[in-house]
Structure 1
């Protein structure tokens, strides 16, 4: 018997994977080395192996002497993570160089100001005007970058939330279907028409399958409830951090501009020190988002390639161990067996009791039935449990059996039909209950097969790739662009705060010197 606990764990791992990546990661527009998405296959031990997102993940691996990584998307491979982390190196280096070099520059500037106050000043009108113009332009660029960052994070937050809600909805749907299937199994065990019930071995199989299904549903439901709030809280925290970064950098750029123009040099220097640290941190955040962009982009491509190559073995097999067709058919056959037996039980009662006109004799069941014969219930399966192509004329299906049989119900007195009809109300109720159970098992059979052979998971991945990945890529790109713009603009603004402050100070001293010279000349 197939273990439904294994399948629930598989789907739970899938849900956790999707939630983890789509919460924190966004796909890059052009960040990945190798823009093509080419699925490469190799044959290993007579099995087809698919390397997911092979061209997209071809990046230098610092753990392998900076050789190109060729293993494709694989979150269990440290070389994959090392190669994707390496893509953020340029921004991390920018942050480090900025922090060290500008720190040294601040130290030298401080020593110059403290030790060389009495030196003469030079002044250039062109330098003064150019520094003011550039300072204005970089301040405007910082404002635009902050706006792009704020807008991008809002849209990225909403698109990520929509994706998470879709995945959680799929998990809830799975739980609901498993519980409904379990309920139908429970009801099937008690199905009986007249004094006839399902065989003991079938009832025993129902107990075994039902225990596994119930356990799977409870495990998935518990995991969903326990993680749902934490995931959304963490998503809100990420959004709040980005909002704070946008607000702080916007305030820093605008306030620095005002203080520089106002000539409040001491406050400008304090703001420069604060901005020096914040710019370094923001560049580090840019690098982190670039790495997360690449991982999410790889994941979207890997999901799509996994969907379109259902028979290949991939790195996803370690996370989602889909069973083979034989195992899936074994699970489905259990519901087929119960459905077949219930329909066989109902038809046996119809053929051997309700449609038999025999005079009452001691020991023989008779309740004065009469009238047209009750049609048999169409069994959707052959005795070998293969699907029947068509019902025999005169049989009724699951969808209309209860309505048709209602016409054969008789009125009863003293447990005998007193009017024309072949089904007493109690018999009709039992047969209707059996039909509902059979239909339920038949209805949820395909879902069960889709779940255990990963068709359900593949459909989920396909929907995410088609409906959610494009928005995540677009809006995460806005977040990344906003971070880069605001970081670079504020960085250059810091430099020109100091340049403009110097030119303004020199201009002030030159005016004072000119005024003093004029006053001396008049004497």
Structure 2
């Protein structure tokens, strides 16, 4: 009976524990919604230098703020950060806009100068030599365009492969956070069984509201992660598909041009030149977009590294706050369970010498003061979990319906007392089972591990392939411009040569006509 007296004295402790769990889980709700090695990103080894590098890096011109310099640091919730970062691809956007204007100007000038009288400015050999070099340069730029296209497609595929890997890491982290909250919800729901023991537990309403909030939050995380990842996946796939399709279509166009040129298919050649002109503008836009993505991925990786060094003083700290108050609550929970198990073991020590000689001690998974760290691996093999106490007490409890059997000396625990013990121990064990997950959420360990994986495995190749793609797009656009200009010049040169040749023949013919008429 001494053992049961000890359990009754712990009723108040259990009430306090339930209250602490309620407050602690409420703190989890405040933290989780924001959750969506030899190589380092920075050479600097301290957070101050990392923060300085990031703040300087993100100082960019913001076209939506009267072209003032944005100095808000890395902040994905700030629209001015996005506009200033997207504007880093301005050279691509400007060239994409100027290129069609140049085409219109070229068309107008061609029509205007075509009406002017053409004069002979060189011999036939000079024209042939110039035409040879124009054709040679056109084919040379064509080959360079094909090579740049292959590099652009390769870079785009690899960049999007790394982006998909990061997306999977984020999705996995969101699922882990959601599953942890569901497990905590189940633990809290099991604690509500204590209300039947107390005939109305004062904190039952808090437990109910906390369990409901956690369940809703877990569902919310899953839905947000699913919706966000769907949008990210759609954006990644669209950009990859459009890039590859347009590059391949451009390749097909220049190859058709190569075949149509010897056949003198002027209409086909003109259409291909027009199509390639449009593709050139599109590729300059893609250059700007991939340049922006390279800048953004560089900012993000730098911010992740900064967060790893010092979460509190990092740019991401405002988006992913790790609650100190929640940490304190978890410490209080650990302290309460530690003291409770110590008292249980003290009671076991007493009853081992009297009524229950074979009863095992309970494993205390928390270290002693002042840290009260959760260390379940330090438990002795001779101890049992607190959740196994009902099984250990089973041989000392009278659970039979026949009252005559309960008169034996070995039965020192009644059925009702055994039921209470089962409720207590199951509730505490459920808390212990979800404690590591709660700790990982409150300490942002789930997020830190995801960031660490991205930093270690994904950031360097992501930046590499982003730079590779925008550089290839810039080279492709440049060579395509030179290819188009070269073949336009060659076409105009050939047209001019044939015009001059026709004029010469016409003049010679007109000069010979009078002589023919004079002859008899």
Same-fold status (TM-score > 0.5)? yes
Indicate which of 169, 173, 176 corresponds to 1:170. Answer: 173
Given that residues 156 and 243 in structure 2 are in contact (C-alpha distance below 8 angstroms), is that contact kept between their aligned partners in structure 1?
A: yes
Indicate which of 361, 374, 384 corresponds to 1:376. Answer: 361
Instruction: Report the CA distance shift for 1:238/1:170 in structure 2 as closer, same or farther (over 3 A).
Output: same
Given that residues 100 and 278 in structure 2 are in contact (C-alpha distance below 8 angstroms), is that contact kept between their aligned partners in structure 1?
A: yes
Q: Which residue of 1 aligns with 2:490?
A: 500
Matched position secondary structure for 2:179: helix
1:141-160 counterparts in 2 under 5 A? 141-160=144-163
Given that residues 332 and 445 in structure 1 are in contact (C-alpha distance below 8 angstroms), is that contact kept between their aligned partners in structure 2?
A: no
- Range that drifts further, 234-243 or 443-452: 443-452
Matched position secondary structure for 1:179: helix
Matches of 2:230 and 2:48, distance apart in 1: 40
Give the Å deviation of 1:86: 4.1
- Range that drifts further, 94-103 or 426-435: 426-435
Matched position secondary structure for 1:87: helix
Given that residues 56 and 298 in structure 1 are in contact (C-alpha distance below 8 angstroms), is that contact kept between their aligned partners in structure 2?
A: yes
Give the Å deviation of 1:297: 0.9
TM-score (norm 1): 0.74
Give the Å deviation of 1:320: 2.7
Tell me how large the CA RMSD over aligned residues is: 4.6
Q: Which residue of 2 aligns with 1:322?
A: 322
- Range that drifts further, 217-226 or 389-398: 389-398
Give the Å deviation of 1:494: 0.8
Does residue 466 of structure 2 align to residue 476 of structure 1?
Answer: yes
Given that residues 182 and 218 in structure 2 are in contact (C-alpha distance below 8 angstroms), is that contact kept between their aligned partners in structure 1?
A: yes
Instruction: Report the CA distance shift for 1:425/1:50 in structure 2 as closer, same or farther (over 3 A).
Output: farther
Q: Which residue of 2 aligns with 1:217?
A: 218
Q: Which residue of 1 aligns with 2:58?
A: 57
Give the Å deviation of 1:140: 1.3
Give the Å deviation of 1:328: 2.4
Matches of 2:379 and 2:172, distance apart in 1: 40
Instruction: Report the CA distance shift for 1:429/1:327 in structure 2 as closer, same or farther (over 3 A).
Output: closer
1:435-514 counterparts in 2 under 5 A? 435=425, 437-505=427-495
Give the Å deviation of 1:405: 2.7
Tell me the alpha carbon deviations over residues 466-508 of structure 1, each in whole angstroms, 9 at most, x when there is no partner.
2221221122223213322221221111111212223444565
Q: Which residue of 2 aligns with 1:134?
A: 137
Uncovered stretches (5+) of structure 1, i.e. residues with no partner: 16-28, 30-34, 43-48, 358-370
Uncovered stretches (5+) of structure 2, i.e. residues with no partner: 1-21
Instruction: Report the CA distance shift for 1:291/1:405 in structure 2 as closer, same or farther (over 3 A).
Output: same
Give the Å deviation of 1:411: 9.7
Give the Å deviation of 1:168: 0.8
Give the Å deviation of 1:290: 1.1
Matches of 1:153 and 1:266, distance apart in 2: 33
Matched position secondary structure for 2:56: coil
Q: Which residue of 2 aligns with 1:398?
A: 385
Give the Å deviation of 1:398: 1.8
Q: Which residue of 1 aligns with 2:307?
A: 306
Q: Which residue of 1 aligns with 2:113?
A: 112
Q: Which residue of 2 aligns with 1:245?
A: 246
Matches of 1:228 and 1:82, distance apart in 2: 22
Given that residues 166 and 458 in structure 2 are in contact (C-alpha distance below 8 angstroms), is that contact kept between their aligned partners in structure 1?
A: yes
Which structure: greater helix fraction? 2
Tell me the alpha carbon deviations over residues 48-73 of structure 1, each in whole angstroms, 9 at most, x when there is no partner.
x9557123234456678877655432
Matches of 1:222 and 1:54, distance apart in 2: 33
TM-score (norm 2): 0.75
Matches of 1:374 and 1:86, distance apart in 2: 72
Does residue 311 of structure 2 align to residue 333 of structure 1?
Answer: no
- Range that drifts further, 225-234 or 480-489: 225-234
- Range that drifts further, 496-505 or 56-65: 56-65
Structure number with larger C-alpha Rg? 2
Given that residues 390 and 418 in structure 2 are in contact (C-alpha distance below 8 angstroms), is that contact kept between their aligned partners in structure 1?
A: no
